[in-house]
């Protein structure tokens, strides 16, 4: 038997054996998945502060006999499973952090936790579903560890902190985990990740080839005018009025300058701060906002135009504008060849009628930093209860956010099939 044929045969054999047991094993894990998820939901922690969550994960991985590395990227945890058959190194990723949101849903495992965030005491909630991601990856680790001898190659389980962004000026999230070796030793060849979605029917999987999620840039524009009495605006330069003109101008970058048939662009101002009282035109005004793009060239163009437009408009009114843009995430790009090859794995997990090739979204994910380094596939798993519609379901990052966790086993199946099928895919390319 030739070397190429031998390389194909081992993963193919593992694949045949695995498919016959994954369904049963994943379904049997469902009670544990709910227990883990609800414990984590009731005890959320903010980015770079996931100390208890990380300890909970690490203890589970050690119990399974995995190699465990802790404090990677502040509180990140990495588990390594070396399978009993030859194959590639594949990474699976879940994010762990909650958000400063007060939960309104009346659940028996409702969060009542608070934490310090930039000097303020804030409520904390898993308002984006990261608790389900952790549970699904813990379950995948348990399933694969239980059939270790059939597993082709090595599986790296990445439990990542601070996906929503680290506090203040701290480093964190995927960039810091990568910097500290999350994709090295062993060297990861491909990475897979998922995100629960509260407005997608439970058990349904959505994915998209190429650009799938937007880059996220945060910007600040400081307008410097000249203070004067509110009754004598001609005696100064009104930074609030100038800011209003800039805000209107920014929207023309979207509506008149961006090639929206190529990819969407969103520019939103989320905060404007200025002044101290009614009858004083202040010296300065500051705007904070976000930029979402799904094309790297368009992202660069938008940055240039925001800077030019803000400074030019300010100058026209006798003011000055300082613009700062900070990139938080890249465009989340699903490798075309990998996505095409792995789509059947998603169908195995959810069923052909429950897998949808979807449109892109202007939401952002720092999984993009992982898939910028190695080929990646990021997909969505539905958590909206049966009988509900998307309009009836609260969106992510809101107090009423809710996930039906009764089909988390679908995520475990998807991850498990991706591990086995990727090994077969790489073997056929040799």
Name the residues annotated as catalytic.
Answer: 97, 163
- C-beta of residue 152 within 8 angstroms of C-beta of residue 86: yes
Question: How far, in whole angstroms, is CA 222 from its chain's centroid?
Answer: 29
Give the Å distances, CA to CA, from 136 to 40, 95, 184, 221, 355. Answer: 12, 11, 23, 41, 18
Token couple for 24: 């049963």
Q: How far apart are the C-alpha atoms of 167 and 185, rounded to whole Å? A: 29
Token couple for 10: 């081992």
Q: How far apart are the C-alpha atoms of 380 and 352, rounded to whole Å? A: 15
The phi and psi torsions of 99 (rounded to 5 degrees) equal -130, 155
Token couple for 19: 């498919």
Q: How far apart are the C-alpha atoms of 152 and 410, rounded to whole Å? A: 21
Angle between helices 130-146 and 51-63 (to 10 degrees): 10
- C-beta of residue 178 within 8 angstroms of C-beta of residue 371: no
Q: What is the DSSP letter of 363?
A: E
The phi and psi torsions of 237 (rounded to 5 degrees) equal -130, 115
Question: How far, in whole angstroms, is CA 367 from its chain's centroid?
Answer: 6
Which segments of 175-283 are extended strands (E)?
A: 190-201, 205-207, 210-224, 228-229, 265-274, 280-281
3-state secondary structure 141-196: HHHHHHCHHHCEEEEEEEEECCCCCCCCCCCCHHHHHHHCCCCCCCCCCEEEEEEE
């Amino acid at each position: 038997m030739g070397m190429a044929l031998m390389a194909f045969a081992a993963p193919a054999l593992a694949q045949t054996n695995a498919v016959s047991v994954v369904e049963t094993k994943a379904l049997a894990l469902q009670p544990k998945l709910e227990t883990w998820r609800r414990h984590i939901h009731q005890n959320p922690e903010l980015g770079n502060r996931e100390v208890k969550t990380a300890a909970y994960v690490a203890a589970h991985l050690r119990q399974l006999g995995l190699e465990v590395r802790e404090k990677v990227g502040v509180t990140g945890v990495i588990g390594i499973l070396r399978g009993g058959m030859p194959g590639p190194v594949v990474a699976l990723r879940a994010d762990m952090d909650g958000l400063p949101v007060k939960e309104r849903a009346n659940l028996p495992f409702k969060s009542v936790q608070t934490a310090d965030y930039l000097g303020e005491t804030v409520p904390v909630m898993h308002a984006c579903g990261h608790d389900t991601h952790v549970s699904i990856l813990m379950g995948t680790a348990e399933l694969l560890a239980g059939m270790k001898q059939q597993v082709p190659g090595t599986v790296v389980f990445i439990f990542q902190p601070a996906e929503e962004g680290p506090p203040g000026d701290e480093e964190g999230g995927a960039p810091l985990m990568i910097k500290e070796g999350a994709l090295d030793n062993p060297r990861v060849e491909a990475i897979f990740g998922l995100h629960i979605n509260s407005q997608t029917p439970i058990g349904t999987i959505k994915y998209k080839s190429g650009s799938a999620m937007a880059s996220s840039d945060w910007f600040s524009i400081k307008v410097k005018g000249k203070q004067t009495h509110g009754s004598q605006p001609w005696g100064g330069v009104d930074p609030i009025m100038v800011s209003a003109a800039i805000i209107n101008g920014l929207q023309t970058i979207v509506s008149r300058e961006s090639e929206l048939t190529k990819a969407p662009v969103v520019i939103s101002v989320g905060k404007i701060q200025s002044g101290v009282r009614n009858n004083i035109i202040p010296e300065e005004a500051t705007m904070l906002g976000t930029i979402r793009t799904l094309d790297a060239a368009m992202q660069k163009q938008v940055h240039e135009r925001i800077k030019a437009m803000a400074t030019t408009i300010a100058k026209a009114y006798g003011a000055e504008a300082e613009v700062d843009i900070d990139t938080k995430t890249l465009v989340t790009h699903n490798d075309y060849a990998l996505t095409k090859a792995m789509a059947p794995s998603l169908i195995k997990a959810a069923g052909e009628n429950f897998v949808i090739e979807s449109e892109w979204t202007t939401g952002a994910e720092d999984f993009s930093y992982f898939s910028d380094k190695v080929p990646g596939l990021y997909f969505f798993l539905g958590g909206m209860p049966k009988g509900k519609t998307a309009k009836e379901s609260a969106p992510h990052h809101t107090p009423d956010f809710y996930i039906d966790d009764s089909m988390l086993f679908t995520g475990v199946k998807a991850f498990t099939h991706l591990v086995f099928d990727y090994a077969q895919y790489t073997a056929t390319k040799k």
